[in-house]
Each structure stands twice: as structure tokens, then as C-alpha cells.
Chains A and B, each alone.
Chain A
Amino acid sequence: MSENERVGQSSQTMQGTNWAPANALIKLEDFSAYYGTLEVLKHINLGIEEKKITVFMGPSGCGKSTLVRTLNRMNDTVSGFRTEGKVLLDGEDIYAPTVDPVLLKLRVGMVFQKPNPFPISIYDNVAFGPKIHKMTKNRSEMDTIVKESLQKAALWEEVKDRLGKSAWGLSGGQQQRLCIARAIALKPEVLLMDEPASALDPGSTSKVEELMVELKDNYTVVLVTHNMQQAARVGTNVAFLYKGDLVEFGPADEVFENPKSELTEKYIRGTL
């Protein structure tokens, strides 16, 4: 970022954004996003550490959901959306004209706030991604993928005897774990989770949180949450956003125990 661009930014927002993780799979370089003329993300620089959980948190409207959706180009379909700067996945800018947004989604999967299983069987839900991308040669290979994905999502034991039943017959927590299984069936490198537990009861929430911690062994997880306790429980690194600015970014224990920015401290205390 040039000095000219820093002029006008308060020293509060600048202080906490100099840290970068050692092993970043995704790097945002001077990344800005606009809905029409409205700038919703402002010159974001941050790195998503590989096989860790990076948390985006902040008050409503801070841009955290927009930010996570730019990582798999889900915002492409929104009319008037445009970007500046780079989002590098393994060194390659995902917004380059040569990049196929469909193939990007094989590498960067997503789980949404409200569980959205398809109105088909549990098996067909998990098999949907591998099927449309022709990842298997025969039924037994698909059976293996479905079983492994459901096992990794801690759902296999609960549904193994009713794979042919409609996914809409599952409880909310089960549906969300099914959506996680569906996403990881494509074996992505990154898993984006946009407030995945906010629509669930506390019991299901803790199951999903346990799952997230297990998932980071195999996937790089980006979690959006407005639940600070959840962020502290599961996050490795935490980014605090405020009105489109990246205010603070660092290891979770440092951000929560020793925030560098006054805004961050106010948010953590609940006085923002």
C-alpha cells in the first residue's frame, strides 16, 4: 500500500495489520471490492494460513461475508460487483481472466449459514459434486467417496442406514453436517464456512465446532462468525473487520488477549 493510500486512515486501523502468517495458502494483496460505487472492502492485505482456521469477525455490515465470498468468486453473480487487487491461491490470482470460476470451486468449497441440502437423497447430495465433475468411474468408487465424506463430517453413523432417504428429513444440525460432507466430497484445499452454526441449536453448534477443529487437519478453513467465544475456541488466526477495513489480524490468543487496536478492544468488550 502506498503512503498516499494510507493518508486518511486512522492510526487505529493501521496498527494491527502488519502481521502475516508464515505459510499462507491464500494471500490478499491490496484487495478492494465494490458493489457499484459502494466500496465494501478497502485495501485488504492478509494471508490465510494453510491447514489452520482463520476467523473473520466483526459487526454486521463490516464486509466479512463479502470477503469470504470473494475467495471462491461466489460474488461474481451479483450485478455491479467488481474487484481491485489480487487474491492469490497458491500464487495464482483467482481473479485473472484465465481462471475458470467453476474449477476454482473445486479447490475452494463453501458451507452456508443456513443449511441448504438439495431436495434429493442423502447419498445423492454428497455424490452431487463428484458426479457432475465426473470424479468417479463406477458406483463403488462413488460409494467410497460418500462414506468417507460422511465419516469426516461425523454424520456417517447417524445416516448409514438411510442414505436413500430425503435429506430434508434430517434435523438442522444433521443437514449442516451433510452440507459439510457435500463440500468435502470434492476434496477441496480450502473450506469456507460462513457462520455455519448460527442457525443451529447449541448442541448442534458444538458438534459443528468440534468438526471444524478436526477438519483443519486436512483442509484450510476460513470461518466467518459474529460469535467471539466461538472464534476464541476454534480460531488459529483472527481477522477483525470494521466497515470494510481490516482493523487487526493476528494469532487468536494475541488478538483476544492483547489487541493492538482500540476498535478491536471495544468490539471484544462489546462496547463498539
Chain B
Amino acid sequence: MQALCVAAVVAVLIPLGDMLYKFTYRGIQIISIPRLVNNPLATTPGIGNMIEGSFILLAISAAIAIPLGVLGGIYMAEFSTGGRFTEGLRFAADVLAGVPSIVLGYVCFLALVTFLNFGYSPMAAGISLAIIMFPYIFRTTEIAIARVPQSIREGAIALGSTKTIMINKLVFRFAFPGILTGILLALGISLSETAPLLYTANFANYAPTSLFHSQLGYLTGVIYLFYTSNLPQYVQLAYLATFLLIMIVLALNVVARVGLKRFSKV
């Protein structure tokens, strides 16, 4: 039995390790300042605009999803009365987390790009990513806050604390590592999406000029579009984008884990 388990773990780790090695190797081979700063049409093609695009989208989606997700999670854990409405909200968030991102992308295309006339834009793409991120932040916040011991809440109430002060000064502080982990993982998910961005941002080699009606490039788009290029330079850029994404998502996960362990030692 133990041998089977070990074999299963090895079977998963080998392709993962192989993938990490290959893309790290190829990424390091090609990485240089011009590659990271230039646009794809320059003499030394680079993915500078796509890196910028990814971070713009990350910023917009985080600015929407984090406040809504954290406040929603706090509401669910501290203020909701546990009735049908609360259960319905929780169920809706879980369903939303399960909707394929390409479906969400298409819905955003219809609603934002077309109906509200945002056009292919950072705003439409950012909102679609925020919708994908929201349920993760919402649920991990609720769970992190629900884990705060009731004894701490009672201690605060017995000192004449109002619920707001108790949440701001104690509950949130205690739950913060768990909430941060949820946020970091949601950011990783946001950076890794492709399908919804194809529907809401399309793709461009240049940086966006406005929040609306301005297509933009992003790292996952580079992988999707450049990997099948006939020109080897662009295939190399796809490897570089892959390497960068793996490193960023890996870093986010490591920070989330280390942060959680460190803060859990309170």
C-alpha cells in the first residue's frame, strides 16, 4: 500500500519537475532586460507590454474583488443570521466558483464589452477576473473569521466592546493570515486566466491607452498566441512568459504558505 502511494506521488512529481525544469531552463536562456521591456514588434522582441497588461488587470481585479470579498466574508461570518438568505449567498458563491471561466468571459463579453459598450478594455477584463476571484476571497475570509475562537469575542464583549471594534481590532487581526492566503491564491488564479481575457480584452501588442475601448496584451495571451508562431523568436517569448508566470504564481503560493505559518504562531 505504501509503495503504491509513493509511486503515485512520484508519478505526479516527475512531469511537474520536468515542466518546471524545462521552462526554467528555457526562460533563463532567453531572459534579458530588452526581452522584459520591449514590445513584440521591436528589433529585439519583448513582452514588456504584456507584463504591464497583466499587472494592470491584476490591479483592477484586485481593487474590485478584495474589498467585496473580504467585506462579504466578514458579513457572512459576523452579521448574517444563518437563514435562507445566508445559505443562498454561500451556495451562489460556491456555484460561481465552479462556473467555467470561459463561460464567465463570454457573459462579460455580452454584458460589458457589447451591452454596456466598454469595448475590449482593461475594465471589462478586470471585472471578469474580479468575478472569478471573488468567491475564493469571499469563502476563505468567512472561514478564517469563523475560526476565531468565541472566547476572544466574549472577552471583548465583556470589556464593553462594540461588535465593530471587536471585529476591527481583534477578529480581523486574528483572521488576517487566513484572509491573506485566500487573497494571494485568488491573485494567482487571476494571473493564470486566458479564456475570459480573450473575450474581454482581446489581445494587442501595445499597452492600453485607456480603461475603456482599448485592447491590451497579457502574459497568458502570449503563451496562447505565440507558442504556435512560425517565428522561433516568438516561440521563445512564449517560453519566457511561461517561466515568468510560473515564478510569480510560485512566489505567491510560497508567500501565502510562509505568511500563514508565521502568523499562525501568534
List the interface of chain A (C-beta within 8 A of B).
72, 74, 77, 102-106, 109-110, 112, 114, 116-120, 128-129, 132-133, 166, 168, 179, 182-183, 186
Contacts and interface: CB of A to CB of B under 8 A. Distances in A.
Nearest to A129: B159
Interface of B: 149, 151-152, 154-162, 165, 169-170, 173-174, 266
Contacts, number: 61
A132 B149 contact: no
Contacts of B152: 116, 118-119
A168 B149 CA distance: 13
Given A129-B160, A132-B165, A168-B266, A116 B173 contact: no
List 5 A-B pairs, minimum CB-CB distance, nearest first.
Answer: A105-B160, A116-B151, A110-B158, A129-B159, A116-B155
B157 A166 contact: no
A104 B154 CA distance: 15
Contact of B159 (A114, A166, A183): A183
A270 B149 CA distance: 35
A106 B165 CA distance: 15
Given A116-B152, A118-B152, A74 B266 contact: no
Nearest to A182: B159
Given A119-B173, A132-B165, A103 B160 contact: yes
Given A116-B149, A118-B170, A120-B173, 20 more contacts: A74-B158, A102-B160, A102-B161, A102-B162, A103-B160, A105-B157, A105-B159, A112-B151, A112-B158, A116-B151, A116-B155, A117-B155, A118-B152, A118-B156, A120-B170, A128-B161, A132-B165, A179-B155, A182-B155, A183-B158
Contacts of A102: 160-162
Nearest to A103: B160
A144 B161 CA distance: 22
Contact of A118 (B155, B157, B162, B165): B155
Contact of A74 (B154, B161, B162, B169): B154
A45 B176 CA distance: 46
Nearest to B148: A119
A132 B159 CA distance: 9
A120 B154 CA distance: 16
Nearest to B174: A119
A105 B166 CA distance: 14
A186 B155 contact: no
13 contacts: A102-B161, A105-B157, A109-B158, A114-B151, A116-B151, A116-B155, A118-B156, A128-B156, A132-B159, A132-B165, A168-B266, A182-B155, A186-B160
Given A166-B266, A168-B266, A132 B161 contact: yes
Nearest to B266: A119
**Which of B160, B161, B170, B173: most chain A Cβ within 10 A?**
B160
A133 B160 contact: yes
A105 B156 CA distance: 10
B159 A186 contact: yes
Contacts of B165: 132
